[in-house]
Structure 1
Amino acid sequence: MASSFLRAAISNNAFWCDAVCKALGSPGEFTSTIWFHRRGTPPFYPDVVTLMEADGEQTEAIATLVNSEGRVWAIKDSYAALDLEPLGFRLLFEAEWIGMRTPVSVPSPISWQRMESAADLARWEMEWRKANGPVAQRIFSEPLLHDPEIAFLLAFEHGKPIGGGILNRAAGVVGLSNLFAEGRHGETIRRGLIAQAAELYPREPLAGYEHGDDLDEALRAGFELLGPLRVWLKEA
């Protein structure tokens, strides 16, 4: 049975996906078992996030959505429990939910700035794009800055941006996402974001998901494994 920490991490992620879409003027919808978006989400964001362990209702709801519109669909299978191949999906990647129950603020060798204006956010996204490649459209819009539970953070070394990330508080945890770092600064940025979370949202657990080398890095920084997830993709 899934832990309450895992459920909170999954709910937080769904709320974050919805916040990004809502800020662009097109929020998604929640049911008791899934979050979904009928018209398509920004790049890197799923169209469906499962909120509960797999059951027939979830698969049926996904099938109905996919059949309603012939476009690309991405599904975040939050419990790594669905078989979506019969619906025409392929497995895009597997990852692990991670959590940290008591983030601690420690001195950082770099400085941090919270984005507060539209110009700040444009700069943050420009730096983020350098790490993620060209994207055809803006993903993060100014209304996100007006939510005190969301923080866009940029790190500087000698006055030069070297990385950053996003924190969002929802469902009783703080989600850490969209971490990016220049070159050798990966662990420094991750540990710095942990410290920022401890300062901005004291005594709140931290959660997210990672895979590959980023997962190894997160575990070294003190995160624990909460459970597996999968992301599925269906081409148009």
Structure 2
Amino acid sequence: MDPLILLAARENATWCDTVCRSVGVEGSIRPGLWASAARTPPLYPDAVTLDPATGELDVLGAIDSSPGASVKDSFCSLDLQGAGFAVLVEATWIAWTAPRAAREPWDEVGVEDWVAGHPDSPPFGETLLGDPTVRLLSRGSARFALHDDGSAVGVSNVVVDDDLWPAVVGEAARRHPGVPVVGYEHGEALAAALHAGAQALGPLRIWLR
């Protein structure tokens, strides 16, 4: 397995943990899994697998698996149909290992401005503003979030025209030179990211009950 997939999954889990804590929901990382026993905010999973050997019982025993629960199956290694889940999204982990740094910086915005300009955004809490690992960035109507977990930099919540993807990755490289840039996408956004030089690492699934 490409070690970048493990980096991408772990970065995504720590990002989910950061967002959840910003609204008062505390998850934890345990062997093979990040999970929250309490229901997480909309658009964020109750669990993220960190090891392909993590099993269905490991996941279901760590979360509230009532209707509305969701699981990010980072390696497409789970079968949760028997527990009432269905596949919501199939996506692809992506990474840039040596992106070119941008020259023109993006604007940093606060949580209130981010949400006011994009009412369909996830419910970020105010503590994200003071978190040194997180930057909310915009340029006109385009936006994305950066998260540094110490081993990789994640790009998420990306809302840009296709031709701005190189600028997104370039901003990540400008702020975090020499650090892998990771994320996941599907559909047209995946095609745009690959066109911007992303490496496709492997598939993931999001399950929803």
The alignment's TM-score, normalised by the length of structure 1, stands at 0.83
Q: Which residue of structure 2 lines up, in the alignment, with residue 158 of structure 1?
A: none
1:44 aligns with 2:43: yes
Mapped to 2, the partners of 1:59 and 1:69 lie a distance apart of 11
What does 1:179-190 align with in structure 2 at a 5 Å threshold? 179-181=158-160, 185-188=161-164, 190=165
Structure 2 residue 154 is matched with structure 1 residue 175: yes
Correspondence for 1:139: 123
Is the CA contact 2:134–2:146 (under 8 Å) kept in the aligned structure 1?
yes
* Alignment partner of 1:15 is 2:9: no
- Structure 2: segments with no counterpart, 5+ residues: none
Please point out which of 204, 210, 213 is paired with 2:188: 213
Runs of 4+ in 1 over 4 A off after TM superposition: none
- Unaligned runs of 5+ residues in structure 1 are 156-160
2-side partners of 1:42 and 1:59: how far apart?
22
Cα distance in 2 between the residues matched to 1:9 and 1:209: 8
One-letter code aligned to 1:232: W
* CA deviation map 1:144-163 (0-9, x unaligned): 121222111011xxxxx221
Q: Is the 8 A contact 1:8 1:171 kept in 2?
A: no
Matched-pair contact (CA < 8 Å) for 1:30–1:36: yes
The CA deviation at 1:77 is 0.3
Percent identical pairs in the alignment equals 33
Instruction: Give secondary structure in 2 for the equivalent of 1:76.
Output: strand
Q: Which has the higher helix share?
A: 1
Of residues 118, 143, 156 in structure 2, which corresponds to 1:128?
118
Query: 1:223 and 1:70 mapped to 2: Cα distance?
Result: 36
1:128 offset after TM fit, Å? 3.0
- Give 1:225 shift: 0.6
Contact 1:48 1:74 (C-alpha < 8 Å) held by counterparts: yes
Give CA-to-partner distance per residue, 1:119-171, whole Å, 9 cap, x none: x3211123333xxx4x7xx611221121222111011xxxxx22110010115
Distance 2:162 2:61 in 1: 41
Note the C-alpha offset of 1:186: 3.2
Indicate the RMSD between aligned Cα atoms, in angstroms: 1.8
TM-score normalised to the size of structure 2? 0.93
- Give SS of 2:102's match: coil
| SS state at 1:153 partner | strand
Corresponding residue for 1:229? 204
Alignment length, in residue pairs? 209
Return the alpha-carbon distance in structure 1 between the equivalents of residues 66 and 151 of structure 2.
36
